[in-house]
């Protein structure tokens, strides 16, 4: 991708977001614009980008954006049929247009990612278990953090693949603040972490994980409350997070913490559901 092409893709994504009310590209797709982790298919006319497809072979997924002024003209399906193998796609916000395209391409809803939000006014005061101590991230923690992340998200097709390069990419982003990456240690080492994020004045529970060996000890709630408190201290109005709808333990924890459902993203897998 040339810098000019990247700028065109980002401008196209902005036009689609303005029309649909949701960003059509997730963080992984945006990061891949600057490194060789994805394939990029572009459809342009008279120098203006009209459609873009981001194909990520590692996850066997693709993300598609069509300019609002050029939809229903076959651009999306034309790009989609250029893919070398059947893949799935994320429909952020699960808009009617996304659902219609997925159905037309022979896909079915397979996973649901719930976006929760809550106001930061009245944020809880963290109460740590006696055997848990918190501190902020340092570069020496990278290896242990990746190990806990891999164990906690072993069944997660995207987050579980985070490696040293991916971690470095995220920590190179302008929003990264090591003080907002809270690590929880017990007698056995790193037991969990809460990575917070602030973009455009909105806080996010970016990644929160508890090592499988340490689950059931109340560490998750302690880490969640600590991160929310950290964001509240910045004077931010709200905090958001994403959680897989299938993880009902996490869903219930967030609901008890005062989070409410804001939107649902849907992953459409190739083929019929019964297959």
- The tens digit of pLDDT for each residue in 183-197 reads 999 999 999 999 999
Q: What is the pLDDT of residues 132-152, one digit of tens each?
A: 999 999 999 999 999 999 999
Burial category of 55 from C-beta neighbours within 10 Å (exposed 0-12, middle 13-18, buried 19 and up): buried
Residues 6+ apart with CB under 8 A from 150: 160, 162
Could you state, in order of their start, the residue ranges of all structural domains in the chain? 3-105, 117-263
Listed residue (100, 135, 118, 89) closest to 270, CA to CA: 89
Tokens found for residue 236: 């931010």
Q: What is the pLDDT of residues 65-98, one digit of tens each?
A: 999 999 999 999 999 999 999 999 999 999 998 9
Q: Is the pLDDT of residue 273 over 80?
A: no
DSSP 144-161: HHHHHHHHHTTT-TTGGG
Cβ 100 vs Cβ 47: under 8 Å: no
The pLDDT value recorded for residue 17 is 96
Residues 6+ apart with CB under 8 A from 211: 148, 151, 152, 190, 191, 192
Helical (H) or strand (E) element with 52: strand 48-56
pTM over 0.85: yes
Tokens found for residue 234: 């910045």
The pLDDT value recorded for residue 36 is 86
Question: 117-263 adopts what CATH topology?
Answer: Aminopeptidase (3.40.630)
Residue 72: half-sphere exposure toward Cβ, Cα within 13 Å:
4
Query: Percent of the chain beyond pLDDT 70?
Result: 99
Phi, psi at residue 207, to the nearest 5°? Answer: -145, 135
The pLDDT value recorded for residue 274 is 55
- What is the rounded CA–CA span in Å between residue 19 and residue 95? 11
**Is 3.40.630.30 the CATH number for 3-105?**
yes
């Amino acid at each position: 991708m040339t810098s000019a092409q990247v700028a065109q893709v980002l401008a196209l994504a902005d036009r689609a977001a303005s029309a649909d009310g949701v960003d059509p590209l997730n963080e992984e797709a945006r990061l891949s614009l600057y490194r060789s982790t994805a394939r990029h298919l572009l459809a342009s006319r008279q120098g203006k980008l009209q459609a873009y497809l981001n194909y990520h072979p590692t996850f066997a997924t693709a993300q598609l954006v069509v300019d609002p002024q050029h939809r229903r003209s076959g651009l999306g399906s034309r790009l989609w049929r250029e893919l070398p193998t059947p893949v799935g796609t994320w429909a952020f916000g699960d808009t009617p247009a996304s659902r219609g395209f997925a159905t037309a391409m022979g896909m079915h809803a397979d996973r649901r990612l719930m976006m929760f939000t809550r106001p930061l006014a009245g944020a809880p005061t963290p109460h740590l278990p006696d055997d848990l101590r918190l501190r902020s991230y340092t570069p020496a923690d990278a290896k242990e953090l990746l190990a806990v992340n891999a164990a906690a998200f072993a069944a997660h097709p995207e987050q579980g693949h985070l490696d040293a390069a991916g971690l470095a990419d995220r920590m190179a982003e302008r929003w990264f603040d090591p003080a907002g990456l809270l690590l929880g240690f017990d007698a056995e080492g790193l037991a969990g972490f809460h990575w917070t994020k602030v973009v455009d004045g909105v806080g996010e529970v970016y990644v929160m994980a508890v090592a499988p060996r340490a689950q059931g000890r109340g560490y998750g709630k302690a880490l969640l409350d600590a991160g929310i408190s950290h964001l509240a201290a910045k004077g931010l109005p709200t905090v958001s997070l994403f959680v897989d709808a299938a993880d009902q333990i996490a869903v219930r924890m967030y609901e008890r913490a005062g989070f409410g459902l804001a939107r649902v993203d849907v992953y459409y897998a190739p083929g019929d559901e019964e297959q």
